Amino acid sequence: MATQLPREEIWFAVRWRRLWAVRREGNIAMAKFAGATVVAAFAGMLLAAFVNLFVGIAVFAIGFGLSFWWFKALQRRHTDYSITYDDYFREKNNA
């Protein structure tokens, strides 16, 4: 877990026991994860419909798993657990 990161490296913060994006880079990472999931689902659906059901399921599972792993690794690298979402914006607005 990352702690005491420079302010520009903090993309996510804890809010209500979940991680929320606090910077534009965090929102872009979430959009990339969602896009990769949609692409994996579409590719899996096409393969399941026209090639083989199990190939489609496997492609979706692998695509989703890899994008989830990437996103969670990025979240761990860019989260400072010592500051909360509300504290981040309170400091930002007072600075």
Per-residue pLDDT of the chain (95 residues; tens, 9 = 90+): 445 677 778 888 888 888 888 899 999 999 999 999 999 999 999 999 999 999 999 999 999 999 999 999 999 999 888 888 888 777 766 65
Q: Please report the DSSP string for 42-61 in residue order.
A: HHHHHHHHHT-HHHHHHHHH
Q: What is the pLDDT of residue 1?
A: 47
Q: Report yes or no on 95 lying in a domain.
A: no
pLDDT of residue 16: 82
Residue 45 lies in a domain: yes
Residue 3 inside a domain? The answer is no
The SS3 call for residue 95 is: coil
**Does 2 map to a domain?**
no
Specify the number of domains making up the chain. Answer: 1
Question: What pLDDT does 3 receive?
Answer: 55
What is the domain extent for residue 67?
8-90
The residue assigned the tokens 């010592």 is 82
